[in-house]
């Protein structure tokens, strides 16, 4: 049977069914052992190829997203959150807000779960076939400034512009120069109605003007971001989850000499 296998494998490669070409001997042996009909065999062969392509596409999208950490819903402690409940989280998981180009603004102090929730939603979106980009505000400004003359920034910029969901972490973490603020406005202007956003910040939108230095520009940015939006406010009194579950090297609190 090796010759027919090899011929079929070559035909699969010609048709760009690379994963099926590798698996065809096993699939045929299983078909013989289980007495599959021709219809069942075709279904298994095509299903296998589709699953492999979906997996490869998901791996590619995960690489392009550039998440700093792989943070999923499995490790997200919903019961410790004040910003969102189970019903609201289930609504977000449906991802209809991505299709509608909504903006989610996650507001609160450092360490309370903003980045975790935004990353988990981004990974969930990738698993559903959406293209996602995760980038800090500081890095985004750099990419916008350098995309015309560095290949790395140009590639990153193109992937961001093609994304269905753009996650910008640490928005307004610092003050920006006027030219940087204009670049950010231009970016928001171009992506308005083209992509959904998740913005994490320890400052409320009403404070953003002092960091951009231009009230008119800030109003124009917020007008687009808040047109379709939901603001999740993480309790200022909530302790840092990172510190609560931090890992330690020494189990003992004191060391005897």
Same domain, 130 and 196: yes
The count of structural domains within the chain is: 2
Same domain, 90 and 201: yes
Residue 249 is predicted with a pLDDT of 46
Residue 160 placed within a domain: yes
> CA-CA distance, 100 to 77, in Å (whole number)?
27
Taking each helix axis as running N to C, give the angle between helix 114-127 and helix 38-65, from 0 to 180 degrees, rounded to the nearest 10: 150
Residue 125 placed within a domain: yes
Residue 82 is predicted with a pLDDT of 75
CATH number of the CATH domain containing 185: 3.40.50.300
What tens-digit pLDDT sequence spans the chain (257 residues)? 446 678 888 888 888 888 888 888 888 888 889 999 999 989 998 999 899 888 899 999 999 999 999 999 888 888 777 778 889 999 999 999 999 999 999 998 887 888 999 999 999 999 999 999 999 999 999 999 999 999 999 999 999 999 999 999 988 877 788 888 889 889 999 999 999 999 999 888 888 877 787 788 888 888 888 888 899 988 755 444 444 444 544 455 554 54
Tokens of 127: 């698993």
In angstroms, the Cα distances linking 178 to 149, 157, 172, 173, 213 are 21, 21, 13, 16, 7
Q: Which one, of 175, 168, 198, lies nearest residue 106 by Cα?
A: 198
Domain termination residue (choose one: 41, 63, 85): 63
Domain termination residue (choose one: 40, 63, 86): 63
Helices (H) and strands (E) in the chain, counts: 12, 5
For tokens 């009909």, the residue is: 37
Residue 256 placed within a domain: no
Same domain, 132 and 238: yes
Residue 123 is predicted with a pLDDT of 96
Residue 241 is predicted with a pLDDT of 44
Boundaries of domain holding 43: 2-63
Residue 246 is predicted with a pLDDT of 47
For tokens 């219809």, the residue is: 39
> CA-CA distance, 138 to 168, in Å (whole number)?
9
């Amino acid at each position: 049977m090796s010759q027919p296998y090899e011929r079929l494998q070559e035909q699969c490669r010609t048709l760009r069914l690379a994963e099926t070409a590798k698996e065809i001997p096993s699939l045929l042996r299983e078909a013989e052992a289980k007495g599959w009909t021709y219809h069942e065999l075709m279904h298994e062969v095509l299903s296998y190829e589709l699953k492999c392509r979906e997996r490869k596409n998901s791996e590619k999208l995960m690489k392009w997203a550039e998440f700093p950490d792989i943070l999923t819903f499995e490790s997200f402690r919903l019961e410790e959150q004040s910003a969102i409940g189970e019903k609201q989280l289930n609504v977000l998981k449906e991802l209809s807000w991505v299709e509608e180009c909504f903006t989610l603004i996650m507001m609160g102090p450092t360490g309370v779960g903003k980045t975790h929730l935004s990353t988990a939603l981004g990974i969930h979106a990738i698993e559903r076939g959406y293209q996602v980009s995760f980038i800090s505000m500081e890095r985004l400004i750099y990419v916008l400034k350098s995309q015309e003359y560095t290949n790395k920034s140009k590639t990153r910029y193109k992937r961001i512009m093609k994304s269905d969901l753009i996650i910008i972490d640490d928005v307004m973490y610092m003050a920006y120069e006027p030219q940087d603020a204009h670049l950010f406005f231009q970016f928001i202007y171009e992506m308005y109605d083209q992509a959904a956003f998740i913005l994490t910040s320890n400052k409320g939108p009403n404070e953003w003007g002092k960091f951009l230095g231009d009230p008119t520009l800030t109003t124009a940015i917020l007008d687009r971001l808040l047109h379709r939006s939901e603001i999740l406010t993480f309790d200022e009194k909530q302790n840092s989850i990172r510190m609560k579950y931090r890992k330690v090297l020494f189990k003992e609190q004191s060391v005897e000499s």
